[in-house]
Amino acid sequence: MTAAYLDHASTTALRPEALDAYVAETARGAGNPSSLHSAGRRARVAVEESREALAAALGARPGEVVWTSGGTESDNLALTGLYRARRDADPARRRVLLTATEHHAVLDCVESLAAREGAEVTWLPVDATGLVDLDALAAELRPDRAGDVALVSLMWANNEVGTVQPVAAAAELAHAAGVPLHTDAVQAVGQLPVDFAASGADLLSLSAHKFGGPVGTGALLVKRGTALVPLLHGGGQELGVRSGTLDAAGARASAAALTAATGDLPGQAQRLAQLRDRLLAGLTQVPGAVVRGAPPGPGRLPGNAHVTFAGCEGDSLTYLLDAAGVECSTGSACRAGVPQPSHVLLAMGLEAAEAAGALRFSLGWDSTAADVEAAVAAIGPAVERARRARSSRGGRAHRRSRTLAGGVS
């Protein structure tokens, strides 16, 4: 039985165009893009042509594309590199503004800066759908408060609940205060129209394996004139911002995947949204199921369906669905297996008990109606079993506590 794969937000299958590009580039033989001989120049051409294709698909200049190993490195380079550059230029600028719903690649990086380098974190509130409060951001960027702000970071689309943030509006507020803005667009690229120049962002992170490219390749878009302190030191590649031997085959494959993903973006987004709405309609037939995040529409990723099931534990549901041939997740794959409620849902105002029963179903370029039908068919029995198991454990715990209490008294 072929599993119904509904975890594309974690990683998606390699597109045929990307595989063909990778194999073709690898078959050309060895060649370091920094070498001056023929093989090196050939590899350099592959890297630069891929850079141009990536930039064209994202509304950026080729010189604004910095190749990285993926979203986590891009986020860390953006945040740490920008924070250090801003602090070094003005020691008063130590405050970082962001929401508590960011990916852990952003949250943990900023918390490290706070613990090790004196950064001060200001958490911007979000509403019950995960949407940032722009008035709160504007208040932090008033002339009497913005003088100590190093940067703002706001993800383009949330990796768990799919809520799309007003990046352009936030960038406008930040720039009016003389503050740069970074956006983690890892989930958005390939599902939403992403125009770097139009967004106003100064830095934008992306990862190829989210839109059908290879794992281990990504990029950071850096607006011309934005100062960054490099994290990696060595050969000085990528304009001295990110040293390391460039992966020509990975670049080729990433560019091919993004070109394919953006070739018919409106049509693909409509197809995913229709599948997503059918999925949500089926999932919410289960009593106690509640859709989380923004309502279906332009404010939500077309392939995202996030639902909490009352009286269940997300991990139990994940295992039960997996046994039934349906693969999904409780949230970010980076935190899978961590026994704690989602920080995203808690920031949105849910209680820990409500957040415990969360499941994220995410669709991608090769998702089908059969995948949706499999999930809808499996969810009812899985929830019933998960609730019975939890109730049984709760009953045993209650009986144990009564026995202990009786023994003490």
Q: What is the dihedral of CA 303, 306, 307, 308, to 10 degrees?
A: 170
* Beta strands 65-68; 218-222: pairing state: antiparallel
Q: Count CA atoms within 13 Å of residue 253 on its CB side.
A: 28
Catalytic residue IDs: 334
Other CB atoms within a 10 A radius of the CB of residue 237 amount to 18
Secondary structure of residue 291 in the 3-state scheme: strand
Helix H or strand E encompassing 402:
helix 369-408
Q: Give how far Cα 8 sits from Cα of 208, 276, 341, 380, Å.
A: 12, 13, 21, 22
Answer whether 358's CB lies under 8 Å from 304's CB: no
Bridge partners, residue 98, by sequence: 123, 153
Beta-strand ranges (E) seen in 69-217 are 95-99, 120-124, 149-153, 181-184, 203-207
* Residue 94 DSSP code: -
Bridge partners, residue 207, by sequence: 218
